A = this chain, B = another copy of it.
Amino acid sequence: MAKKDTVSVRDTLRIGKGVERHHPGSFPIGPTKKPKGLKDLADAGDRLAELQEALYAEGVGGGNRSLLLVLQGMDTSGKGGTVGHVLGLVNPMGVRYAGFKKPTAAEARHHYLWRIRKQLPVPGQVGVFDRSHYEDILVPRVQKLVPAAEWRKRYTEINAFEKELTEAGTTIVKVFLDISPEEQLKRLKARLETPAKWWKYNPADLDARAQWNDYQKAYADIFAKTSTAAAPWYAVPADRKWYRNWLVARLLIETIEEMDPKFPPAGFDPETELKKLEGVGVPG
């Protein structure tokens, strides 16, 4: 137990070259039962909201820092649910959400980073990418849409792009929502059996499922090549939704705590303003 309390979620889940991922159904750190997990998530929500407000305030005060959460994962891995249950804990004023689907014809005529750049968080914001520029390695590779040399050079391009962002003040947290193929089977079934979930289903999801191992291989290479010190990847065991939510909330908390955002100083003299305020009195 002592170990679980002192080791950070970031250190536990960080991945890269040669680092094994935890099983999607495992509990490598933190709560192992749902009631405790939900209570811990509510507590984490209060802390996260507090930290996010400080980051937002710092931005209003002229600071240049922001946070970017990149969410990747196989279909049904819970990207939308994570946005709802984790980002839903903070004030939407400070959240900028961007979902990246298959590029439109107009987008496809540009460099693949063009549409990404347009959605970056501004100072003080928490940006959330629901899928991202990593799709521009995954999909062309697995579906063999471009020559290998083309998607291979994107590792280097993306590392340079992310370095540029971090140097400009954006802290990047890249999360892989890791579900097992067994759990995906259950979730796809549930989508097909529930009319209110049909809108989330696409027949192409089955093609991607049939290529499960190819995608896993492509992800492993992405982690090996793009989990940098500046922009690390975290693999979140995501077979249990409540546990996934707690882990992502903790990743964000630990990250913003390290950023240590500060409420800006007053650009005025509070005492003088208080006196003036009394002078204005109550109109009407």
Contacts and interface: CB of A to CB of B under 8 A. Distances in A.
A197 to B, nearest CB: 8
Contacts of A57: 196, 199-200
A283 B74 CA distance: 13
B60 A280 contact: no
Contacts of A277: 185, 188-189, 192, 206, 209
A263 B196 contact: yes
A185 B88 CA distance: 31
Chain A: interface secondary structure?
A: helix
Interface string A36-58: 00000000000001000010010
A188 B270 CA distance: 11
Interface in A230-264: 263-264
B97 A87 contact: no
A137 interface: no
A60 B95 contact: no
A93 interface: yes
A87 B94 CA distance: 12
A181 interface: yes
Given A189-B274, A273-B201, A212 B84 contact: no
A203 to B, nearest CB: 5
A266 interface: yes
Contacts of A189: 274, 277
Contacts of A80: 91, 93
A130 interface: yes
A213 B268 contact: no
A92 interface: yes
Interface string A183-197: 001001100110110
Given A84-B93, A196-B263, A206 B280 contact: yes
B274 A192 contact: yes
A227 interface: no
A181 B88 contact: no
10 nearest A-B residue pairs (beta carbon) = A84-B91, A212-B283, A57-B199, A198-B266, A87-B92, A181-B282, A196-B263, A192-B270, A92-B95, A83-B93
17 contacts: A83-B92, A84-B93, A88-B89, A88-B91, A92-B95, A181-B283, A185-B277, A193-B274, A196-B263, A198-B263, A198-B270, A203-B268, A203-B273, A203-B276, A206-B276, A210-B283, A213-B283
Interface of A: 49, 54, 57, 60-61, 80, 83-84, 87-93, 95, 97, 99, 128, 130, 181-182, 185, 188-189, 192-193, 195-196, 198-201, 203, 206, 209-210, 212-213, 216, 263-266, 268, 270, 273-274, 276-277, 280, 282-284
Given A84-B93, A92-B97, A195-B266, 7 more contacts: A83-B92, A88-B90, A188-B277, A198-B266, A203-B273, A210-B283, A216-B284
